[in-house]
Amino acid sequence: MLTLLTIILALALIIISIIKFDIHPFLALFVGAIIYGLLAGMDGDLILKSISDGFGGVLGSIGLLILLGVMIGTFLEKTGGAFVIAQKILAVIGEKSVMIAMMVTGYILSIPVFGDSAFIMMNPINKSLSFKGKLPYASTTVALTLGISASHSLVPPTPGPIAAAGILNADLGMVIFWGIVISVSALVPAYFFVKYFTKHVHVVPHFAEVESNIQHGKRPSLGKAFLPIIIPLLLIVLASIAKYPTLPFGEGPFTTILLFVGSPVIALLIGAFLSFSLPEKFDAKLLSSSGWVGESLLIAAPVILITGAGGVFGKMLQNSGIAELVSNNLNAASWGIFLPFLMALALKTAQGSSTVALITTASIVAPLLAALGLDSEQMRVFAVLAIGSGAIAISHANDSFFWAMTQLTGMNIKQGNQTHSLGTLVLSLSAIVIIFVLTQVV
């Protein structure tokens, strides 16, 4: 009980620091981990060892993945490649199915591009299409935000899921595969929520803003725009399949090469190089510290540092003997996949950031996997996705994405809670139900 209270106190300090005092999550997590170690009675040498092992171990496997993923997204956004993808999706699905088009577009764009950026990019089109289709603006908007939220928390190379997969040592290719299956499936009930429960919320868009955020100038072709996303995902998934015990691709040179280029770091590096071909005229300055690569470093750095601090917290928990404690007390309980989900949901609701919720929960759960019955290769994958499902909800006033959505659409807080916030809960619960069913049959 004392250890449990110590963990709760450390988490409370972290959450209060982030919410009330606006302390950066990296510093809150890092100091919170040290405070936990001291309160748990760990000696100084073990605390220092936990810091070096936790920070270095996690960043050694994850830091480059986060940076390369952000780099691909930056080039797609800056060159208009993401906008080209959005236009094609809308053209294929058609203006008559605006809600589905918004959901699918948001889903695809949020894999390489940060959620806030994807929404800002798509909102002008959303306004126009909702007006042309005579559809409730609130409905098309929430279709867009839920599409963004689904892939943001469940599909790598988005930073949060990459970090959680690395912390739990889950196969990234399988996280991508099952993340796509689960997130797409969970969007089905979310779509019906949008269609039937948000249409009565009346929001009038300001059409003077419609064209203000749309990029102009020559953009890359659709094929070029898709390559930096599709090629890395395909290579990672194929490499995961190649590692199956049945050796479906054999043991020859082809498999050896596939395992190399399909390793997450090399696959995303290939994706980054492909993204360098997106500008109409390549300029070496784009790769400089003041160019788009430098901008990517600035965007990725906070996420990488938060991930490292989460690794420190996880290692501190592990070295304090938390796994043995949980094993002795949860053997008769059937928490299983639901404990990571509930932890992530509570953290997301409390402090607002899906990425912080994913990283913190993964760090806490990592030493508990065996006690929870989640230490097999397949269950580690589902544990990552259960955490991602919890990190979707509930998006409300402490989430920057909530404010981007309400401020750009003219919704008030009550309308945002009735539509987007409730929608994230529907999406989150749908995802965990699907995950639970899959754990019973896969």
What's the CA gap between 157 and 69, in Å, rounded?
Answer: 6
Q: Which residue has the tokens 């935000």?
A: 145
Specify the residue for token string 């060159």: 79
The dihedral over CA atoms of 416, 420, 425, 431, expressed in degrees to the nearest 10, equals: -170
From CA 65, how far away is CA 46, in angstroms rounded?
Answer: 29
Q: What is the pLDDT of residues 280-334, one digit of tens each?
A: 887 888 889 888 999 889 888 888 888 788 888 878 877 887 656 655 555 445 6
Q: Does residue 131 surpass a pLDDT of 70?
A: yes
Q: Residue 61: pLDDT above 80?
A: no
Give the DSSP H or E segment for 272. Answer: helix 264-275
Rg (CA), the chain: 22
- pLDDT band at residue 214 using 50, 70 and 90 as cut-offs: very low
Residues with Cβ within 8 Å of residue 334, at least 6 apart in sequence: none
Query: Are 152 and 354 in contact, with CB atoms under 8 Å apart?
Result: yes
Q: What is the pLDDT of residues 184-193, one digit of tens each?
A: 999 999 999 9
Is residue 25 within 8 A of residue 306, CB to CB? The reply is: yes
Q: How far is CA 55 from CA 23, 151, 274, 301, 314, in A?
A: 19, 26, 30, 14, 10
Residue 149: name the closest of 360, 428, 414, 361 by CA: 428
Cis-peptide into 157, omega within 30 deg:
yes
Separation of alpha carbons 19 and 212, rounded Å: 32
Q: How confident is the model at residue 345 (pLDDT cuts 50, 70, 90)?
A: very high
Q: Is 276 exposed, middle or buried (0-12, 13-18, 19+ CB in 10 A)?
A: middle
CA atoms within 13 A on the CB side of 80: 14
Q: What is the pTM of this model?
A: 0.80
Q: Cβ distance 255 to 242 under 8 Å?
A: yes
What tens digit of pLDDT does each residue of 244-292 get?
A: 777 788 888 999 999 999 988 899 899 999 999 988 887 888 889 888 9
Q: How far apart are CA 40 and CA 212, in angstroms?
A: 54
